[in-house]
Amino acid sequence: MSLVVFRSKAAGEIFMFPETARRIFAIIGRSEAVRGVITAEQVPDALQRLAAAVDQEKADIKAASEAARQADRSEDASPGPITLAQRAFPLIEMLRAAQKRKVDVTWGV
């Protein structure tokens, strides 16, 4: 799979690497397909699932950070890996806009 392009009448195009798209498809309950659609009726559920996954990851990172501090490990000054929240943010915003306008979100390669 090459770059995945998400489109909606509610927002501009979003380009995403296939690895990130696969993870997001799994989170929102979609099969990995060359093309697809999240209908206006399905947008709220997809948005809720993706936002919940982002919130869970944030909680996990916070817990791991707290555990490291309690174990008296010095924290690395280098930035950590890019999180799901950072990668999914544009799509979350697109889903929010699509939900407000009651329009579909499509994707293709």
Lowest-confidence region among 16-20, 60-64, 71-75, 96-100: 71-75
The per-residue DSSP string of 25-81 comes to HHHHT----SEEEE-TTTHHHHHHHHHHHHHHHHHHHHHHHHHHHHTTPPPPSS--P
Q: Decide if pLDDT at 22 tops 60.
A: yes
Q: Is the pLDDT of residue 76 over 90?
A: no
Q: For residue 1, name the pLDDT band (cuts at 50, 70, 90).
A: low
The pLDDT confidence band at residue 72, using thresholds 50, 70 and 90, is low
Quote the pLDDT of residue 78: 58
